[in-house]
Amino acid sequence: MTPSDASAGASAGRWSSLDRPPLNVAALQRALVTGDGLWTSLEVVARTGSTNTDLATRAAELPEGAVLVAEEQSAGRGRLDRSWVAPARSGLFFSVLFKPGDAVPQEQWGWLTLLAGVATATGLSRAAGVDTALKWPNDLLVGVEGEERKTGGILAERVADGVVVGIGLNVSLTEDELPVPTAGSLALAKASVTDRDPLLRAVLRSLEEWYGNWRAAGGDPAASGLQETYAAGCATLGRHVRAELPGGRTLTGTAEAVDTDGRLVIRTAEGRHEAVGAGDVVHLRSVH
């Protein structure tokens, strides 16, 4: 028995709900770690603080394509060090290791956050028939009774020779379990599938496909189709937004485009265009 199997077994002994079984580690490894694809290892642990922290700590000794999944996170993080907490086995909480090397200029590595958003939305659409929109730069939105709700988030962190990308998805959370009223889950969005095994396989396969195309294009977001696809699925574009920028400055205007550096281009009321590379964006209202 591998450590991953042991971890999953320990988790299985304390199910809180028969509707939330542990992931089938052996089946996931057979399906994804094939020897001729991107994924080189897949480990599932019953509980950890943060999969991003754990994988980043070991990144130097691991090859590209390492995947770490947690059935439960006690210190999951979003952007701006916000916490990400959910009941055990109620979602997908995992991190992956990318090492683009010389194939992609380092100034293009920032696109990995947006790439992960596109890949996750694509995978969920295929596997669960749920329409997932992207909120710049790293949130995944679903519709719940006509409202946009955040059901997932992405956090990318640079390590010595690569990037660790963490993805968190609320899968089976009920309304009573949501951390905040504006949150959502795939179940609440009426997804056709909430079994986490096929969902994880679909997202990882989509990540492999998008990353392979982007890497083959030398990280060019236009040539790989990433920039166009992100813009098509981005719920932020065309909206009236407020960007809360580092240093306490705010910028209000219409989100018009995502440029070749992955920055959000905002047109102010004065007609000035400003590209935002980092910050927290709030959707204020639709612009018609």
According to DSSP, the β-strands at 41-45 and 66-70 are parallel
Confidence of residue 19 (pLDDT cuts 50, 70, 90): confident
Instruction: For 171-205, give the DSSP string.
Output: -S--GGG-SSTTB--TTTTT-S---HHHHHHHHHH
Tokens of 188: 């609440």
Judge contact between 128 and 191, C-beta under 8 A: yes
What does residue 120 show for φ and ψ, rounded to 5 degrees?
-65, -45
Please give the model's pTM, rounded to 2 decimal places. Answer: 0.91
Q: What is the pLDDT of residues 96-107, one digit of tens each?
A: 999 999 999 999
Q: Is residue 121 predicted with pLDDT exceeding 80?
A: yes
DSSP 3-state of 15: coil
DSSP code for 108: G
Q: What is the pLDDT of residues 185-206, one digit of tens each?
A: 999 999 999 999 999 999 999 9
Pairwise CA distance, residues 185 & 189, whole Å: 6
Confidence of residue 81 (pLDDT cuts 50, 70, 90): low
Q: Residue-wise over 66-78: b if at least 16 C-beta within 10 A, else e?
A: bbbbbbbbeebbb
CA 273 and chain centroid, separation: 28
Judge contact between 154 and 113, C-beta under 8 A: yes
- For residue 131, the number of C-alpha atoms closer than 13 Å in the C-beta half-sphere is 9
> What are residue 169's DSSP bridge partners?
92, 152
What percent of the chain has pLDDT above 90? 85
The enclosing H or E element of 13 equals: none
Quickly list H helices, the chain. Answer: 3-12, 25-32, 51-58, 111-128, 196-216, 226-233
Q: What is the pLDDT of residues 219-238, one digit of tens each?
A: 999 999 999 999 999 999 99
Burial class (CB in 10 A: 0-12, 13-18, 19+), 126: middle
Q: What is the pLDDT of residues 243-267, one digit of tens each?
A: 999 899 999 999 999 999 999 999 9
Pairwise CA distance, residues 252 & 192, whole Å: 37
Q: What is the pLDDT of residue 14?
A: 43
